[in-house]
Amino acid sequence: MKRILIAECSQEIASFNPVPSQLESFRLATPAQLFAEHRPLRTEISGALHHFDSRTDIELVAGFGARSITSGGTTSAEAWKFISESFLDSIRAADKVAKLDGIYFCLHGAMGADDQLDPEGFLLVETRKIVGEQIPIVASFDLHGVITDPVLKNCDSITVYHTYPHIDLYETGERSAKLLLKIMDGKAKPVTVRVRIPALVRGDELKTKTGIFGQRVAEAVAIENSDKGLSGGIFIGNPFTDVPDLSSNVIISTNDDEKLAVDTATKIAAEFWRDRAKLQAFLTAVPDAVAQACAAKSGTTILVDAADATSSGACGDSNVVLAELIKQGYSGTVLAPLTDPAAVAAAFKAGVGNDVTVNVGGALDPRYTPIEVTGKVQMLSDGEFNNEAEGEPWHAGNCAVLKIKNITLVLVSKPVSLHNRSLFFAHGLFPEKFDLVIVKSPHCQDHMYKSWATTYINVDAPGSTSANLPTLGHTICRRPVFPLDANVEYVPEITVYRR
Ligand SMILES: [Zn+2]
């Protein structure tokens, strides 16, 4: 029997969110819990388990798992210490029982801790110290990952999501398992090429189904699926993770065909660079967006406030769009989410059916100024519900639905992902029944909002995950980089990795 270890460390942070991520931001799994937790879900690990199950000569060994429940600010040193030690301890323990023959790590790539700006690289370097240089390691990543030298030097090959919005977590796990077995079976000798592109990107053209980025990813996927191909994709990094290696990268891994990997990765990178200006967000100033909403005659207007996207790492406590709607006297029905533990507590104190006057907004991120509102408490909940896409439980803490005249505000105690409609559904609220919805996510799957909305506007509000990238205030990432700097010159930086 061949022993394969699986472990997970997955988080995306926004360095510009002032609230650090603590251990409670993670779903932690001991080795005894890891597989049982993933099997019912559509995650990378469940996809990998499914593929490994098809073989009778494999013994699966579970390691530690840490998966962020939702993104947040930089991980605290204390949380990182616990996670990294638990992760590496689980590998030490597995290695002690008997020799490991292969490793699959489910990583994300856009994590950052107070005292460690390349957590994934650190875990891989330390893992090699435990298991040695010989055993194959394959790791999977989100395409928002920040890929680094320590990661690429210590993996035999890597895989990356091919979709944005991400709907191929399970398939990425399956691909990773397949790739690892191919290497373990001696059927593949990976050579991996990375071409770094000094550009940060955002906006609608990143949607792989419809955008220019999708065309580039398709080229990488075609190489992955070719005879000599093993893996291919494009990392765009997470523009909000301000770490030294933040940039975009094309990655192509082939079966011992360095020329194919270099040629194709270089070509895709050049095309990506050519299109960099199109791969930016086109945003409308908040007053203009609200004026357009006021002028809309029918149907639902969606105001996308990606600057406060919890799934990208923001707090979800921006009231900027809300305040402008009130200021301009928007009269249609509004549905909006907001993180504000104190306002929730006040609503709980008032009770269902009673009026309450509270300050909302800026509860966690001081860049927002609280506004006073008076509304009727319509519903109170414990904020426990399932994510409509992958099915796992999400925890918003206590929640309150507050009706302020025409505005229905869903107040949560803890930031919860808003890249789908789970929070609204959990409170019996259906976006299509409203005249206007504030969506705090850069993109959702089209059927959730875009395909049926009559007006759809990406607003230029302030926030720690603003798509207006030069406003964020990067201080750590490599410069120059487009669009933070003017006149950036493109010289392809090609690195070949082989173990
Ligand atoms: Zn992502």
Q: How many angstroms is it from 46 CA to the middle of ligand 1? A: 18
Q: How many angstroms is it from 144 CA to the middle of ligand 1? A: 5
CB 344 within 8 A of CB 417: no
Q: What is the dihedral of CA 365, 369, 374, 375, to 10 degrees?
A: -40
CB 103 within 8 A of CB 9: no
Q: How many angstroms is it from 236 CA to the middle of ligand 1? A: 9
Q: How many angstroms is it from 287 CA to the middle of ligand 1? A: 29
Q: How many angstroms is it from 247 CA to the middle of ligand 1? A: 14
Q: How many angstroms is it from 348 CA to the middle of ligand 1? A: 35
pLDDT tens track for 285-321: 999 999 999 999 999 999 999 999 999 999 999 999 9
Q: How many angstroms is it from 397 CA to the middle of ligand 1? A: 24
Predicted local confidence at residue 217, as pLDDT: 98
Predicted local confidence at residue 70, as pLDDT: 87
Helices first, then strands: H and E counts in the chain: 12, 21
- 3-class DSSP string for 395-419: ECCCEEEEEECCEEEEEECCCCCCC
The DSSP annotation for 48-61 comes to HHHHHTT-SSEEEE
Is the entire prediction scored with pTM above 0.85?
yes
Structure tokens at 159: 């895989």
Q: How far apart are CA 394 and CA 386, in angstroms?
A: 6
Predicted local confidence at residue 390, as pLDDT: 76
Q: How many angstroms is it from 142 CA to the middle of ligand 1? A: 5
Report the phi/psi class of residue 316: left, alpha or beta, with left for phi > 0 and alpha for psi in -120 to 50.
left
Q: How far apart are CA 430 and CA 481, in angstroms?
A: 41
Q: How many angstroms is it from 172 CA to the middle of ligand 1? A: 13
Which residue from 316, 300, 298 is spatially nearest to 308, judged by alpha carbons? Answer: 316
Q: How many angstroms is it from 335 CA to the middle of ligand 1? A: 25
Q: How many angstroms is it from 38 CA to the middle of ligand 1? A: 19
Helix (H, G, I), strand (E, B) or coil at 26: strand
Helix (H, G, I), strand (E, B) or coil at 338: strand
Q: How many angstroms is it from 110 CA to the middle of ligand 1? A: 9
Predicted local confidence at residue 392, as pLDDT: 84
Q: How many angstroms is it from 17 CA to the middle of ligand 1? A: 17
480 CB contacts (<8 Å, ≥6 apart)? Answer: 198, 487, 488, 489
**Per-residue b/e over 446-475, b at no fewer than 16 CB within 10 Å?**
eebbbeebebbbbbbbbbbbbbbbeebebe
Which residues sit with Cβ closer than 5 angstroms to ligand 1, an ion? Answer: 142, 144
Q: How many angstroms is it from 324 CA to the middle of ligand 1? A: 30
Q: How many angstroms is it from 393 CA to the middle of ligand 1? A: 19
C-alpha distances in Å from residue 392, one per residue of 27, 92, 105, 251, 389: 10, 29, 20, 30, 8
Structure tokens at 213: 């980025």
Q: How many angstroms is it from 370 CA to the middle of ligand 1? A: 30
Q: How many angstroms is it from 11 CA to the middle of ligand 1? A: 10
Phi then psi for 346, rounded to 5 degrees? -65, -40
- Is the preceding peptide bond at 480 cis, omega within 30 degrees of 0? yes
Q: How many angstroms is it from 425 CA to the middle of ligand 1? A: 23
Q: How many angstroms is it from 412 CA to the middle of ligand 1? A: 23
Q: How many angstroms is it from 402 CA to the middle of ligand 1? A: 31
Q: How many angstroms is it from 246 CA to the middle of ligand 1? A: 14
Question: DSSP 3-state helix, strand, coil percentages of the chain (rounded to 5)?
Answer: 30, 25, 40
Predicted local confidence at residue 94, as pLDDT: 98
Q: How many angstroms is it from 143 CA to the middle of ligand 1? A: 6
Q: How many angstroms is it from 9 CA to the middle of ligand 1? A: 14
Predicted local confidence at residue 391, as pLDDT: 81
Q: How far apart are CA 30 and CA 89, in angstroms?
A: 11
Q: How many angstroms is it from 353 CA to the middle of ligand 1? A: 40
Q: How many angstroms is it from 166 CA to the middle of ligand 1? A: 7
Which sequence spans correspond to the domains of the chain? 2-279+493-498, 284-467
Q: How many angstroms is it from 114 CA to the middle of ligand 1? A: 21
Q: How many angstroms is it from 73 CA to the middle of ligand 1? A: 15
CB 248 within 8 A of CB 199: yes
Q: How many angstroms is it from 163 CA to the middle of ligand 1? A: 9
Q: How many angstroms is it from 422 CA to the middle of ligand 1? A: 18
Query: Residue for token digits 């990795």?
Result: 497
Predicted local confidence at residue 378, as pLDDT: 98
Ranges of the chain whose pLDDT falls below 50 = none
Q: Tell me the residue ranges of DSSP E strands in 146-280.
A: 157-160, 190-197, 229-235, 248-255
Could you say which of 3.30.70.260, 2.40.160.40, 3.40.47.10, 3.40.50.2300 is the CATH number of the domain covering 2-279+493-498? 3.40.50.2300
Q: How far apart are CA 195 and CA 299, in angstroms?
A: 45
Q: How many angstroms is it from 93 CA to the middle of ligand 1? A: 31
Predicted local confidence at residue 228, as pLDDT: 98
Q: How many angstroms is it from 112 CA to the middle of ligand 1? A: 15
Q: How many angstroms is it from 241 CA to the middle of ligand 1? A: 12
Instruction: Give 211's strand partners.
Output: none
